[in-house]
Amino acid sequence: MTESGEERRAERVDRLVGDVLAGRHLKATPSDAADREAIRMATQLAGTREGYPRMSPAFRRRLGRMLEKGEAPARLNRRAALTGGLGLAAGALGGSLLAQLEGRLAAFRPHPAGTPDPLAKPPTSRSIIEPRPELARWVDTGLKLTDLAEGVPHRVAAGAIGAFLLRRGDQVVGMSSYCTHLPCELVWQEDRKLLNCPCHNLGFDIEGQSLRDGYPLPALPFVKVRVRNGHVEVLGT
Amino acid sequence: MQRGEPERHGERPGEVVEMPVAPASPVDVALEELEFVYAYIFARVGNRADAEDLTQQVALKAIPRLRSGASVAAIRSYLFATARSALAAFWSARFGLPQEELREDLWVRSEQPEPAGESIERVDRILSKLPANYRKLLELRFLRGYSLKEVAAELGTTLGGIKVMQLRALRAAARVAGDD
């Protein structure tokens, strides 16, 4: 490839990248096929920048109206309507169908779990919350190691960091107290042995792993914990 | 040393706290399923506009299937199978390639949707295997939201030079991903 040829392609790929990063449609055409691997790598990288992406409230409302009415929202483009089989869909999602769906999907909700052994599963690779160095400091939680019972998470706050602490022998593991689905603070439910999200009723086990089948949420990030002279400290702000 | 807040008003550590939870409507429940489909698609197309179009397609196709009395697992499986099919059609239309060819591609071939955090971990693995200048460029541009001009300033090169370097870095990352 000549230098000017590569520059032209670099210019073109950057225009496509700029659109994607701005949230606009990818405007690639068959003339871009030679660079498809680079373009698709760009979309994959762009796809990770939101962490766990959620639908915008406006789009969610439009989709909700579509499900209620069984017809496409006004802003649905022609391609989506045609390929989506709109004709078949119209009127299909009446009240009885929704009730049926409700019944089926209820099985996805967290159910009472057994008593998991915190030591049975090794911790998986997952992110660790660390405040910016200029703000980070070890915060005394006011708890002693002996205050923590095995198998019962204790919720604490260390400045801006909310955490559940879990005792393992002489050690303490800390994990974020916020759901990785929506930023709602989780609640420990002793009877069900799980951390429950009060916003959407999703659950995490005592290890912080998602209990959702099929497409699990990210595990709860770890927070840094240390025990000094029997006092439990969390790296907070 | 600052004291933390081991307890909150009316609450002891480890105590069950009953929170008011509004009963979810059937549409809300369906929307929650589609949130996962949306996240799955967004991780592959990287922009909201296309992710919304494709999620709508999946929702429209799934509505008739919901009438069929299929099991929960079958409905979810259908949603993701439909999402994979929509993605294959999406890429096929963009690049003028047969869908069959794209179905074999890493991006749409998996039978099961991967856990949400895995795409991030995969990107981390890919970036870690790149030369330092490529890795820094891609991190600044894609993960930290720098404009290309800002990336050029950070790396001490020209705007034209950084565009070529971006293309080369993306190609190198795609090669690493192919081996991943």
- Those of residues 115-154 in A touching chain B at CB distance below 8 A are 125-127, 137-143, 147, 149, 152-154
Domain end (from B51, B68, B103)? B103
Contact A6, B164 (CB under 8 A): yes
B62: tokens are 């799934």
Contact A154, A143 (CB under 8 A): yes
Our CA-based measurement puts residue B59 at a distance from the nearest CA of chain A, in whole angstroms, of: 8
What residue numbers bound the domain in which B153 lies?
Answer: 118-179
Domain end (from B55, B75, B103)? B103
B80: pLDDT confidence band, cut at 50, 70 and 90? confident
How many CB atoms neighbour CB A226 within 10 A? 13
Same domain, B36 and B59: yes
In a domain, B13, yes or no: no
Q: SS3 helix, strand, coil % of chain B, rounded to 5?
A: 65, 0, 30
Same domain, B88 and B47: yes
DSSP string for residues in A41-79? HHHHHHHTTTSS----HHHHHHHHHHHHHTS--TT--HH
Mean pLDDT on A89-94: 39
In a domain, B66, yes or no: yes
Q: Which residues touch A133 (CB under 8 Å, ≥6 apart)?
A: none
pLDDT in tens, B1-23: 444 444 444 444 444 444 445 55
Number of structural domains, chain B? Answer: 2
pLDDT in tens, A19-51: 999 999 999 999 998 999 999 999 999 988 877
Question: Which of A37-46, B33-42, B105-114 is predicted most confidently?
Answer: A37-46
With CB atoms and an 8 Å threshold, state whether A154 touches B56: no
Same domain, B88 and B141: no
In a domain, B111, yes or no: no
The pLDDT value recorded for residue A214 is 56
Domain end (from B103, B130, B159)? B103
What CATH number has the domain bearing residue B155? 1.10.10.10
For the whole model, what pTM was predicted? 0.61
The pLDDT value recorded for residue B169 is 97
Q: Round to whole Å and give the CA distance between A24 and A21.
A: 7
Same domain, B74 and B46: yes
In a domain, B32, yes or no: yes
Q: Of A21, A25, A33, which is closest to B96 when you measure between CB atoms?
A: A33
With CB atoms and an 8 Å threshold, state whether A81 touches B60: yes
In a domain, B35, yes or no: yes
Query: What residue of B is the nearest CA neighbor of A17?
Result: B142
